[in-house]
Structure 1
Amino acid sequence: MLDDAGFDGVICADHLIYPRELSSPYPSPTGKPMWPADTEWPDSWVLIGAMAAVTSRLRFTNAVYVAAARPLVEVAKQVATASVLSGGRVALAVGAGWMREEFELMGQDFATRGRRLNEMIPALRALWRGGWVSWEGEHYQVPEMMIEPHPADPVRILCGGESDAALHRAAHLCDGWVGTAYAWDDAVRFVTELNRLRRESDRSTEPFEIMLALMEPPSVDLFRRAEDIGVTAVMCAPWAGAGEVVAGDLEAFGADAARYRAPIERFANDIVAKMR
């Protein structure tokens, strides 16, 4: 439906598990995740592969993928394969993560996750070049090897997170930034800071994506204003508030997905088509 209606892409979220004993504080005022323990989190790259197989133009990325909780070579292999199978329609949006339990389960050091992610970004680009590749760094050492298939074109890497470190990582190391949902003034504040950091790193003339959601009713005027300040993509659920779809009705995706068609087509006609 989204492919035919003219939407640009689909975002996949990421978590590995929900531990019975969760001691890691979630980055919110309550310190608690907003989803129940049995919420389903399909693996991002399996899900992206499935969606890519039945679409022709939609692009796919994450919001966000906890890359530092996985081994470097595993991330390189999964993303490269998804890029090849989709015909280059994927980007990788990384985040440092907050759940210590996920890192410990995967044998990755939680304390160094930010520094390792900073190194993982250029390391991934090196491993995706094709042919004999290697990496020698502080946190990762990869002997010369071939890792095929490799992406035909460079995979864009975006960064999520609102901390000073995350914004610096996005502006200095990445091809874009992924936020969450913001009031208008907060969105302007983040975009302004990202632009300042990019000027600081002499990257202000390079292409840079800024992707976020806005906590206002969707409209052409709203999205035009977002475009004017430098936002390149607005995340939305086109069926949000639609009478055909009950909030949280996940069973409808499998049992009666046609229910989503009408609100998707309305959003496409009322907003997407007018933004082209």
Structure 2
Amino acid sequence: MKFALHFGNNTFPDLAGATRVARLAEAAGFDTLLAVDHVVFPDNYTSVYPYGPSGRLPVGRGGAFPDPLIWIACAAAVTSRLKFLTGVIILPQRNPLILAKQVATLDYMSNGRFELGIGVGWLKEEFEAVGVPFAKRGKRADEYVAAMRALWAADGASFAGEFVNFREVSCNPKPAGRVPIIVGGHTEAAARRAGRLGDGFFPSIGSSVDPMPLYDVARRAAAEAGRDPGEIELFAGCPDLLPGSTVEPQAAVEERARRGVNRIVVPVGPFLPSLEESLMRFGETVIRPFAGA
């Protein structure tokens, strides 16, 4: 079982904080550190935030919220083994050629330690501010994935689609390896997208939706697309592992493993304020005993 630490960039937005949490996560034995994405926060919005009971974003307008790619570049520079994942970047809002260049550069310069977590977004007012249509954002995301993979695969790449068109262009450096694309989201559409084209599926740990039926949707979609369902890495939250829980870690980890989960994601917030002590204890009591499970 692999373990990931979530909400790095909005919890530790400055360079000192990024350095601190990245080095601690690596020392504790975490496999991955995640960074989240929003370009802007509208002052007024009617869209419903799907990952909390209030339906409102849990952050205010003035909070520091670094770009995840730049934040990850800083954190990767002070580590050597830890991997990094956008959890998730709002793919339809990004130019796919520019993002392909950024992702390839991050992966190249970190020696293959970057994974691209993608989502289609929920905040319509943010799309309007960025100037990207909210409609067809799922189809746009699918096309962006295909276009980026074409750019990473070979020089002289061409692509013709509804939203992206280019002919015989090269984007270098290429990634150090194949960049895994992890599809995030709490809906069946997200699960189907993960099965069709993703390397993994990450239902949000903040959602109250039971992920098990979504895992089945992802597996069926993979099979229908002629892919091996077992190759879709499954992510899950696990509140029972957080500080203060009375549940035995072994039972919690084994329960996720029975569901086919490959990587457990925990938020960094509950480890505060004694971050050093709490993360190292988690490493000793949870990560190391189950790292090979």
What is the TM-score when the length of structure 2 is the normalising length?
A: 0.82
Asked if the contact 2:105–2:175 (Cα under 8 Å) also holds between the matched residues in 1, the reply is yes
SS for the counterpart of 2:89 is coil
Match of 2:251 in 1: 221
Residues 1-276 of structure 1 aligned to structure 2 (within 5 Å): 1-27=24-50, 30-181=54-205, 186-205=210-229, 207-218=231-242, 219-237=249-267, 240=270, 245-246=272-273, 259-276=274-291
Residue 70 and residue 53 in structure 1: after superposition, are their counterparts in 2 closer, same or farther (change >3 A)?
A: same
Asked if the contact 2:47–2:125 (Cα under 8 Å) also holds between the matched residues in 1, the reply is yes
Whole-angstrom distance in 1 between the partners of 2:267 and 2:240: 13
* Cα deviation 1:101-140 (Å, max 9, x = unaligned): 3223333221121110111111110011242222111221
Whole-angstrom distance in 2 between the partners of 1:185 and 1:60: 25
Match of 1:254 in 2: none
Of structures 1 and 2, the one with the larger relative CO (CA 8 A, separation 6+) is: 2
After TM superposition, give the deviation of residue 143 of structure 1 in Å.
Answer: 2.7
Asked if the contact 2:219–2:229 (Cα under 8 Å) also holds between the matched residues in 1, the reply is no
What is the TM-score when the length of structure 1 is the normalising length?
A: 0.87
SS for the counterpart of 2:205 is strand
Asked if the contact 1:135–1:141 (Cα under 8 Å) also holds between the matched residues in 2, the reply is yes
Residue 239 and residue 101 in structure 1: after superposition, are their counterparts in 2 closer, same or farther (change >3 A)?
A: closer
After TM superposition, give the deviation of residue 44 of structure 1 in Å.
Answer: 0.7
Whole-angstrom distance in 2 between the partners of 1:183 and 1:20: 23
AA aligned to 1:11 is L
AA aligned to 2:192 is H
Q: Decide which moves more: 51-60 or 124-133.
A: 124-133
SS for the counterpart of 1:60 is strand
- Once superposed, which parts of structure 1, at least 4 consecutive aligned residues long, lie more than 3 Å away? 28-31, 182-185
Aligned residues: 261
Whole-angstrom distance in 2 between the partners of 1:11 and 1:119: 24
* Cα deviation 1:157-191 (Å, max 9, x = unaligned): 11111222111111111111111227999233332
Gaps of 5+ in 1: 247-258
Gaps of 5+ in 2: 1-23, 243-248
Percent of aligned pairs sharing the same letter: 31
